[in-house]
Structure 1
Amino acid sequence: MRGTNQFSKGGNLMFYVKENINDSMEVTVEINDENVFCHCPRCGAEVSVDFNEFFGDTEFDLFGTAICCTECSRKVRCEK
Structure 2
Amino acid sequence: MGKGKDLFGHFNDLAKAKGPQSEESQYAGVLFQALLMVGERRVFELLEEADETGKKLELETSGNAADNSECPSNIILVDKD
Query: Does TM, normalized by the shorter one, top 0.5?
Result: no
Give the TM-score taking structure 1 as reference length.
0.26
Kindly indicate whether structure 1 or structure 2 has the higher relative contact order, using CA contacts under 8 Å at least 6 residues apart: 2
Structure having the higher helix fraction is 2
Give the TM-score taking structure 2 as reference length.
0.25
Structure having the higher strand fraction is 1
